[in-house]
């Protein structure tokens, strides 16, 4: 009785060890995919957009070797003779995120300034409409409002 019990106990332990061994490469694969998988993820998105396909097959014979294994060779030493430039620095503008800017509530609010993020239906008469960084604001001294639709304005951080 005693012997058979200890045998039973050994088995689950071994299974545990095996399981942990199996987990390690899995985690590694997940990390690698995150790092270098940009190209592949993008390609998947491209195909998802397809719909009905014309009768023509992709030809990948000219694709670089790295295409097959984006994870390990996402940087190829290709000699680019005629390249193009993408100005990718597109994150600093205010084009579409007045609300996001408003969410950053300043820690210290002056006694006279309205709280950033608060909304009003009527803005002070001294407000002047201006464009800054491509967005229109109502500037009222040190308080800046952005139009929210309807008759609502939201207090935002001064854009400069």
Partner 1 sequence: MKVVRPNKLRVVMVSASSNRELIYDGKTFTLWTPARKYYSTVKFDDTLGGLIDRLEEKYGVQLPMEDLFRWGTPDAPFDKIESAMNAGQAFIDKDLCDHYAFRQGKIDWQIWITTGSKPLPRKLVITNRADETRPQSIHRFDWNLKPTFKDSVFNFTAPEGATAIEILPRKTN
Could you list the residues that contact partner 1 (CB under 8 A)? 34, 38-39, 42-43, 45-47, 49-54, 56, 58-60, 62-64, 66-67, 74-78, 80, 82-88, 90-91, 93, 95-99, 128-136, 147-149, 160
Cβ at position 106, least distance to partner 1 in Å:
16
Q: Name the one residue in this structure whose structure tokens are 């935002």.
A: 156
Cβ at position 21, least distance to partner 1 in Å:
28
- Of 16 and 39, which CB lies nearer to partner 1 in the complex structure? 39
Cβ at position 91, least distance to partner 1 in Å:
8
Nearest-CA neighbor of 133 among 125, 142, 144, 143?
144
Cα separation, 157 vs 142, in Å, equals 9
Answer yes or no: are the C-beta atoms of 135 and 146 closer than 8 Å.
Answer: yes
Cα separation, 133 vs 92, in Å, equals 10
Cβ at position 27, least distance to partner 1 in Å:
16
- Of 4 and 96, which CB lies nearer to partner 1 in the complex structure? 96
Phi, then psi, of 78 in degrees rounded to 5: -90, 135
Phi, then psi, of 15 in degrees rounded to 5: -60, -40
- Of 129 and 141, which CB lies nearer to partner 1 in the complex structure? 129
């Amino acid at each position: 009785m005693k012997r058979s019990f200890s045998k039973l106990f050994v088995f689950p332990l071994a299974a545990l060890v095996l399981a942990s061994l199996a987990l390690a490469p899995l985690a590694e694969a997940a990390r690698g995919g995150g790092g270098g998988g940009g190209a592949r993820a993008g390609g998947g998105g491209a195909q998802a957009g397809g719909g009905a396909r014309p009768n023509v097959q992709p030809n990948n014979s000219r694709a670089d070797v790295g295409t097959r294994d984006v994870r390990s060779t996402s940087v190829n030493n290709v000699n680019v003779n005629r390249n193009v430039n993408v100005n990718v620095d597109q994150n600093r503008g205010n084009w579409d995120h007045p609300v996001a800017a408003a969410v950053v509530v300043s820690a210290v609010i002056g006694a006279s300034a309205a709280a950033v993020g608060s909304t009003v239906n009527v803005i002070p008469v001294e407000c002047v409409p201006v464009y800054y960084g491509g967005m229109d604001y109502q500037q009222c001294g040190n308080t800046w409002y952005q139009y929210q639709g309807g008759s609502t304005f939201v207090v935002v951080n001064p854009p400069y």
